[in-house]
Structure 1
């Protein structure tokens, strides 16, 4: 027998190479091809979901703009309704104040008339008392 050589090329090397190639092809067909297909499908699904999310973001912006427009219109409508209500309340208040003023002025006029009448009655009463007092004074001062 010859001395052992470092690289002995006999029939074992081609058999191991054939086994390696067979194992490589078998693993590619049985394990790596389905795994690659699964990962490609998963990647496609994720991209599709991302694209649909991007597409709906424009729709969401449009809906937000519509909501803002509706809110702005509602605020304007509420503001107009409040202003109209304020005007109506102010007019009603002015009418009630005018009625109150008229009522107070009428009562004041009646009270002033009563005071004027009482003043005239008091003056007449005082005139008659003055006349009576002046006659009493004249009788006491001038004895006749």
Structure 2
């Protein structure tokens, strides 16, 4: 029986205690890794939320920039159209003024030709005495 107790004591000190210590350390390391993975998953969720918020802000900023650019382009187009209309109206007024002047010149020319022609007819119909 003493041999049995000595064998048990020796096995406990030489084999079971180091094995138990190794298994306890391994269990603690596994628990630590599991806890760090859980912490990391929370951190990943926070980072995903931050990324989503940044994307929403960027989309809103892009939308505002596009809206502003559209308004500026519309104003520029309207301004150019107004300038074009003014230019066309000025050219039309100038053309109308030229036509009116040509009409007056033509009427004066016709008046002088009518006067000359009527004088010519009078001279032919009524002989000069």
Q: Is the counterpart of residue 73 in structure 1 residue 62 in structure 2?
A: no
How far apart in 2 are the matches of 1:27 and 1:118? 132
Select which of 32, 46, 71 maps to 1:48.
32
CA positional deviation for 1:45: 0.9
Q: Is the counterpart of residue 87 in structure 1 residue 34 in structure 2?
A: no
Other structure's SS at 1:64 match: helix
State the Cα RMSD in Å: 3.1
The within-5 A match list for 1:1-144 is 18=3, 22=7, 25-129=9-113, 132=116, 138=121
CA positional deviation for 1:130: 5.2
How far apart in 1 are the matches of 2:67 and 2:112? 66
Structure label with greater radius of gyration: 1
* Structure that is richer in helix per residue: 2
TM-score by length of 2: 0.71
- Deviation per CA, 1:16-73: give whole Å up to 9, x if none: xx48x72x65444323432332232122112211112112212321221122122212
Structure 2 unaligned runs (5+)?
none
Structure 1 unaligned runs (5+)?
1-13
TM-score by length of 1: 0.65
How many aligned residue pairs are there? 125
